[in-house]
Amino acid sequence: PLLGGPLKVMIPENLTMEQVVEKNPLMELRGQYQPPNCWTRHHTAIVVPYYGQAQHLQHLLFHLHPFLQHQQLHYAIYVVNQVNNTAFNRGKLRNVGFWEAMQEEDWDWVFFHDVNLLPEDNRNLYICDIFSAHASVAIDKFNYKIVPCSCYLGGVFALRPVHYLKINGFPNTYWNWDREDNDIAARWGGLALGRPHLLFGRYHMLEDGLDHSHEQSPKSPGFLAEIQSRWQQDGVNSLGYTLLSKELQPLYTNLTVDITVPAPGTPVP
């Protein structure tokens, strides 16, 4: 009943985390939320790979908490904070976030969420009623051009835990921005992919000064063949990391990880 449709995306100047906390009084510690006056059927974990984009994170939290609360979900937000001055490794951070989130709760599905994407319509439900869902199908920066479905999967998308394990999660070995979203689509194979109504799946992209032109672009058949030959060796079954700290913030759980060294004894399925 609380879904109003299109949202005005506000980017307040000089926003502070304290202000965002104040605006969300119903949050329990660790960024969890339960609707106060109904029993919810949906339990959603949100995993946000993070590499020091503090302003973006504040704007995401400012926008995403009311968005999710209007959907009356039980949810939690996990920020996976990469330390060390190596290149951003979004795939591996997603694997860590998945793993740590599932230790806490039996989540129905996990949404992987880029820190710089703000949903523009709250009828874009953060649940996935089939196996998986690609939520961010149209982004303002790309003139809301609809992404081709089968060759790219990035931005905001969801998997049920059982299917995440089936595709062996994400690659751990891409130390940069460009390839993992095509890789994940290649792993996907025949899994059915749900998408919101194209008008609901719209997002605003916060500018980060990085080149995103490679995104949303399918890669060569040779690249896809290469993935198909080795995805079973590179993924959640070869995940090594050290959890340096886990801080329970009012609006999120901050998982700080060192992913540069494969840590002996880290759990693998």
Ligand X SMILES: *[C@@H]1O[C@H](CO)[C@@H](O)[C@H](O)[C@H]1NC(C)=O
What is the contact surface with ligand X in residues (CB under 6 A)? 13-14, 57, 79, 81, 83-84, 244-245, 247, 254, 256, 258, 260-261
Distance CA 80, CA 96 (A): 7
Q: Is the dihedral of CA 58, 64, 69, 72 positive or negative?
A: negative
The residue (of 82 and 95) whose beta carbon lies closer to ligand X is: 82
Nearest Cα residue to 73 out of 30, 114, 32, 116 = 32
The residue (of 82 and 216) whose beta carbon lies closer to ligand X is: 82
**Could you give the 3-state DSSP secondary structure of residue 45?**
strand
The residue (of 14 and 229) whose beta carbon lies closer to ligand X is: 14
Q: How many CA atoms lie within 13 A of 241 on its CB side?
A: 31
Smallest distance from the beta carbon of 96 to ligand X, in angstroms?
13
Smallest distance from the beta carbon of 8 to ligand X, in angstroms?
17
The residue (of 100 and 215) whose beta carbon lies closer to ligand X is: 100
Tokens of 228: 């198909």
Tokens of 95: 């694997």
Distance CA 77, CA 211 (A): 26
The residue (of 104 and 258) whose beta carbon lies closer to ligand X is: 258
CB 78 within 8 A of CB 48: yes
Smallest distance from the beta carbon of 13 to ligand X, in angstroms?
4
The residue (of 11 and 149) whose beta carbon lies closer to ligand X is: 11
Smallest distance from the beta carbon of 49 to ligand X, in angstroms?
12
Smallest distance from the beta carbon of 253 to ligand X, in angstroms?
9
65 φ, ψ to 5°?
Answer: -60, -50
Smallest distance from the beta carbon of 22 to ligand X, in angstroms?
16
The residue (of 79 and 138) whose beta carbon lies closer to ligand X is: 79
Angle between helices 221-230 and 180-188 (to 10 degrees): 70
Smallest distance from the beta carbon of 12 to ligand X, in angstroms?
7
CB 126 within 8 A of CB 111: yes
CB 202 within 8 A of CB 140: yes
Structural element, H or E, at residue 93: helix 90-104
